[in-house]
Amino acid sequence: MTIALVAGATRGAGRGIAAELGAVGATVYVTGRTTRDQQSEYQRPETIEETAELVTRAGGHGIAVQADHLDRDQVRALVERIDREQGRLDVLVNNIWGGENLFSWDKPLWEHDLDDGMRMLRLAIDTHIITSHYALPLLLRHEGGLVVEMTDGTADYNAVNYRVSFFYDLVKSSVLRMAFGLSKELGPRGATAVALTPGWLRSELMLEHFGVTEETWRDALENVPHFAISESPAFVGRAVAALVRDPDRARWNGQSLSSGGLAQVYGFTDVDGSRPDAWRYVVEVQDAGKPADTTGYR
């Protein structure tokens, strides 16, 4: 049985990944700051208990553990618990983010709130480093471990496109580089590290922003036509599940991957049966200034 830790699994991609790992029978430790008894600064309704229940309903075993991944003692205790209860860790998904309310789209560095920017760096970079520091010795105990660093944008796309604002751009590029660095340290020791990005994700926050649900998301297309290329959190979850089930996953070590790109390799689909290739669409249609048309892209 696969033992996985999805760090940052309260909502969005983390929740989708945890549930799809459950669908392939994994035991999944899901972490976050929001529980049914205590909310994080997000003040959102989603909880880690709900995510754990989704994992179990999907066929796996979900275990919710409240953890602030900036707190070294909490992360150390989390890994010690996994070791005590399972004796191994096969998959680490670093999905901690926490920055939606901290970055500004229209302000340069010197006008951006400095405290918000620095907090975003801590939440989205330091957390990944702290979690890897404590979890990797357990993951390396058995050969074949997998580390997935979750980001926004592929290495190729982010190399030539400025992503939103100074702090956002720095965070997402840093995570890509973390995956590359980890690949150099883990590869010779029998493990694999990759960076993975979803496309335009229909997260709970995105759906709420557009005033739609997962069932009615197409209603948003009248005002946001390119949202037609969007994908559910299950799609990137199935990308991770495909990597976990691939005995030859070491071929991806150090690479920047996308849910749409992996779907073309592994053949999985989104919940509607399509295979949205968002990053190719963004370059060839959206950024090229063409009218929204997903023909050939999903």
Pairwise pLDDT comparison (34 vs 189), residue with the higher score: 189
CB 99 within 8 A of CB 70: no
For the chain, percent of residues with pLDDT exceeding 90: 92
Pairwise pLDDT comparison (140 vs 45), residue with the higher score: 140
- What average pLDDT is seen over the chain? 96
Neighbouring C-beta atoms of residue 25, cutoff 10 Å: 13
Partners of 94 in the beta sheet?
A: 7, 149
Name, in order, each residue with C-beta under 8 angstroms of 28's C-beta and a sequence gap of 6 or more: 4, 5, 6, 9, 18, 21, 22, 52, 55, 60, 61, 62, 63
Inter-CA distances, 5 with 26, 56, 149, Å: 10, 14, 12
Lowest mean pLDDT among 21-35, 98-112, 166-180, 257-271: 98-112
pLDDT tens, residue by residue, 144-176: 999 999 999 999 999 999 999 999 999 999 999
Mean pLDDT (whole number) for 58-65: 98
pLDDT tens, residue by residue, 71-81: 999 999 999 99
- Residue 38, pLDDT > 90, answer no
- Residue 42, pLDDT > 80, answer no
pLDDT attached to residue 45: 82
- Mind giving me the DSSP string for 50-69? HHHHHHHHHTSEEEEEE--T
Mean pLDDT (whole number) for 4-26: 97
CB 96 within 8 A of CB 69: yes
Residue type, 211: G
Mean pLDDT (whole number) for 199-224: 95
Reported pTM: 0.96
pLDDT attached to residue 99: 81
Mean pLDDT (whole number) for 35-47: 82
Partners of 257 in the beta sheet?
A: 196
